[in-house]
Amino acid sequence: METLNVGLIGCGNVVSYGHRPALTSLPDVRLVALADVTEARRRIGQEWFELANADLYADYREVLARPDVQAVVVTVPQQFRREIILAAIAAGKHILSEKPIAYAPAQAAEMLATAEARGLTFGMVHNYHFFPEYRKIKELIDSGAIGDLRVLTMHYLGVIDYPGAADYKPDWRHTLAAGGGVLTDMIHGVYLAEWLFGAPAEQVMAFVDAPTYQQRQPVVEDLALLHVAFPGGYAAIHMGWGQGVGGVDASGSAGHLRMRYNQYQTSGFNQPIELYSVRDWQRSDHALENKATHMETIGWSFTQIWADFRDAIRERRPTIAPGQAGQRALELTLGAYLSGATGQVVRLPLPADHPVYQKGILGMADVAAWPESRTQAAGIFGLR
């Protein structure tokens, strides 16, 4: 089978624990070129992937100019992605993009339309699709183990606030350049909800806040509480940086299921994971094929994303998480921010002429905020 030659654009922390294990374990996917704006990160990547000096670039355009590069993975912050991805598409490269897809939905729509016109594969790094606990939950729901899914509750209230790469800007996730705060950072919960319901969201209402703003001057949220309407049911997504509970509950027409990490952590750093379903008052426990550590599970999930991306290119099919799923997740996230500011239910998809659709969270400054809005009181998203 022909090897897929890849160029990496951006060598931040996500590469170390995600893309590195994938790109060094799949025998028919090979990293041949790397671009990063900082020399320190280029040298780190050179060591990770055993690249020659000639394969390291400060300018991503030099990666795109290489005829041996068939696909690129773009891991730079989302504010820079549009220019890079459009240039990659113009160069005829397939795209695997980190999440979220873009800074604003208008950018995402432009990139996707351009890639489709060129017949190129555009996939998202929505790697939680391959976490054993979520795959089992999806399997149970699709098999009818709890009947029709009605209410999905997803708790991520103990998200670890990891800094960015020290050689770049460690605090970039707390700036407007990040496009949002904890909900944008952990957009995994958003796309998983759509995946589990098997249909796009139709409405969202939310409280979005930075509760500790009295001690600091935040510009993005660190707490987001969402209610989302899907065609067949509802999801509640609770997201926060700091200390808090984690886990998933799904209530169906004929039963329910529950997933909890050890000590109710937000993610599986403390295993084991408990997953069980209940139907007709009978409990069924479900074993999971987890790796020895959570970081190994993350590495494995990235490997599966890369394998799916490789196969999608070969088979001329969408990936498990095509770019369109990335755009929908971005719109739901921004819709939650908009709801928090206006105090209203927001319909999805967003209108193409809406300032938030066009400019992302920068468009929030053009929105008439609800006087009692906690989002405005916190002064985030330029509403101070």
pLDDT tens digit sequence for 3-53: 999 999 999 999 999 999 999 999 999 999 999 999 999 999 999 999 999
* Cα 161 from Cα 189, distance rounded (Å): 16
174 pLDDT tier (thresholds 50, 70, 90): confident
Q: Is-above-0.85 flag for pTM?
A: yes
Per-residue pLDDT reduced to its tens digit, 81-132: 999 999 999 999 999 999 999 999 999 999 999 999 999 999 999 999 999 9
166 pLDDT tier (thresholds 50, 70, 90): low
Position 60 scores a pLDDT of: 98
CATH number for the domain running over 4-127+298-322? 3.40.50.720
CATH of 128-291, one of 3.30.70.2190, 3.40.50.1100, 3.40.50.300, 3.30.360.10: 3.30.360.10
Q: Compute CA distances 244 → 160, 240, 241, whole Å.
A: 10, 8, 8
Q: Compute CA distances 327 → 7, 84, 249, 300, whole Å.
A: 23, 17, 26, 25
Nearest Cα neighbor of 96 from 69, 116, 123 is: 123
Domain with CATH 3.40.50.720 in the chain: 4-127+298-322
Q: With contact defined as beta carbons under 8 Å apart, do 112 and 324 qualify?
A: yes
Whether 332 has a pLDDT exceeding 80, the answer reads: yes
CB atoms within 10 A of CB 65: 14
Per-residue pLDDT reduced to its tens digit, 284-309: 999 998 888 889 999 999 999 999 99
* Cα 128 from Cα 359, distance rounded (Å): 27
Domain with CATH 3.30.360.10 in the chain: 128-291
Strand 273-279: give its sheet, edge to edge.
282-285, 273-279, 255-261, 246-252, 149-159, 233-241, 223-230, 203-209, 346-347
Position 213 scores a pLDDT of: 53
Residues sharing a CB contact under 8 Å with residue 108, sequence separation 6 or more, in sequence order:
101, 102, 323, 326, 327, 330
